Amino acid sequence: MNNIKRKYKRVSNELRTTYNELEILEKEDMVKRYIKLKEKEEKLEEKKMEIYEELQLNIYSTCNHIFACSYTECDYYEGRTYRYYGCVKCGLDTIIYSDLYYDLSVGKEKIMDDFFKQTLGKTESIRHYVACFKIIDRDYAKVKEIYDEIKNKRLSDSELQIILESKLDDENKEKQKKLVLW
């Protein structure tokens, strides 16, 4: 017991000395400037994040999405399969509502969740929202890879979709050929 009391007293004294030293330092011009800059840094980071969110929301709302299947979840209990879709153009993805994600309060998950909430209101479902756009029912990574290859070719949205699908078809044919050869 005495030992703990001694320890407590020692640390308390050390802390008091530290407070005093900090107080003296905080009066120095250089340190005052440092503290001000740190406050400014914090505010600017907050502001940057706000603008980034606004920018992303704008990108999501103006994108003529091309959705591909980003994740499939099987509910063996109900015997159902749920498919989640991501846009290969802007990255908006319903995958945030799958069992892979549980915290939608930070980062890009929060921005996407905010976007869906703002866009869909209370009545429209995400499934309905996705169905309003082009859906390519193929693996997201594959569609994204081909999209990235052709995205800089100044194509209209419909041309982009046609080329994307024909390239995916070609690839499928190649795969089937290989299977036959084997």
Residues that bind Zn ion (CB under 5 A): 63, 65, 87, 89-90
Q: By C-beta, is 20 or 61 nearer to Zn ion?
A: 61
- Shortest spacing between CB 89 and Zn ion, in angstroms: 4
Tally of CA atoms within 13 A in the half-sphere of 127 that contains its CB: 2
- Shortest spacing between CB 90 and Zn ion, in angstroms: 3
Q: Which residues contact 93 (CB under 8 A, 6 or more apart)?
A: 70, 84, 85, 86, 87, 112
Q: By C-beta, is 82 or 129 nearer to Zn ion?
A: 129
The span from the first CA to the last CA of the chain, in angstroms, equals 78
- Shortest spacing between CB 115 and Zn ion, in angstroms: 11
CA distance 16 to 79: 64
- Shortest spacing between CB 67 and Zn ion, in angstroms: 8
Place of tokens 């407070």: 19
- Shortest spacing between CB 65 and Zn ion, in angstroms: 4
Q: Which conformational region is residue 107 in: left (phi greater than 0), alpha (psi within -120 to 50 degrees), or beta?
A: left
Q: By C-beta, is 63 or 168 nearer to Zn ion?
A: 63
Q: By C-beta, is 137 or 174 nearer to Zn ion?
A: 137
Six token digits for residue 52:
């980034």
Q: By C-beta, is 22 or 141 nearer to Zn ion?
A: 141
